[in-house]
Amino acid sequence: MKQYYNKKFKPNYHKLEEIDINVIRLLAPNPSPFTFYGTGTYIIGKNELAIIDPGPNIGSHIEIMLKIINKKTLVHLFITHTHADHSPAAKIIKEKTRSITYGYGAYPKERYESQFEEGHDLDFKPDIKLKDGDIVKGPDWTIRAIHTPGHTSNHMCYGLEENSILFTGDHIMGWSTTVIIPPDGDMTAYMNSLRKLLSLNYKVYYPTHGSPIKEPKKFVKALIAHRKMREYQILKELFNKSQSIKEMVSKFYKTTDKRLWPAAEKSILATLISLENRGKVTTLGGKNTRWKLTSK
């Protein structure tokens, strides 16, 4: 997948950048191994604003947004999912403006498994719950909601119909593959959501992290092939002997920043669960769970 990523993205944390007709981007100053250069907030429209992923609770980021929001302006806040680098700013904007929040739904707290750097915004509940295919219209924009579970069960992509743009949140990123963290993260659902996008015809994807994706179908096909390659690698390793997830990560991700290995372990676990559900692998149990093929 490396050849498909564009890491020449130039961060600008203080300036609104016009990226398309009627669309500007503001980058939050929260760079990390999980967020690349930070969270990209997209602001659409003139009379009523649609804001995709208002971002983390960082004062300077929120202040810039508030400066362009007229007190009489109605603001529509669209949340792709409830990781803490995407949705918390919505609460502050709602307190200070006329705003409506939209999303698939709150994060299912009972499925909250672990605390990675991004964490979850466990307090967010949308004013309006969106279903797959729902349309929200403003005076000069139309947003289509596309449910894409996998990274999280409540993940949504949003299509800007007038511009043929798809805002992909963390479902598809411009700099790295997406982390899938069970139990809420689901690799089978993620793969199905990737295939779902192949049936759509948006001309460009704008992820929340990283550069725009200008050949979206080619990119999605490469992502699917990459995940299939990882399945093949796992099955090949387990053909020789049973192994733990840590053993597999040390082989598959030896050139990856070790700060990301815990997240890589979760994605490997998600792949193993998908393979287990299809009857291809099983666990041996124990403290340091090992996995094996169900048969050779």
**31-55 tens-digit pLDDT:** 987 788 999 999 999 889 999 999 9
Q: Could you read off the pLDDT of 219-241 as tens digits, one per residue?
A: 999 999 999 999 999 999 999 89
pLDDT for residue 152 = 95
Cα–Cα–Cα angle for 258, 263, 264, rounded to 5 degrees: 75
**Torsion sign (Cα): 256, 210, 69, 16:** positive
The second-level CATH assignment, the architecture, of 230-293 is Orthogonal Bundle (1.10)
Domain layout of the chain by residue ranges: 2-225, 230-293
With a cut of 70, say whether residue 113 has pLDDT above it.
no
Between CA 125 and CA 196 the distance in angstroms is 26
pLDDT at 5 over 80: no
Span 150-168, average pLDDT: 97
Question: Given pLDDT bands bounded at 50, 70 and 90, which one contains residue 1?
Answer: low
- What's the CATH number for 2-225? 3.60.15.10
**Cα radius of gyration (the chain):** 19
Same-fold call for 2-225 versus 230-293: no
Q: CA torsion 77→23→80→126, rounded to 10°?
A: 10
Grouping H, G, I as helix, E, B as strand and the rest as coil, residue 101 is: strand
Looking at per-residue confidence, does 4 or 272 come out higher?
Answer: 272
The pTM score is 0.93
What's 171's DSSP letter?
T
pLDDT higher than threshold 80 for residue 116: no
Question: What mean pLDDT do residues 266-293 have?
Answer: 90
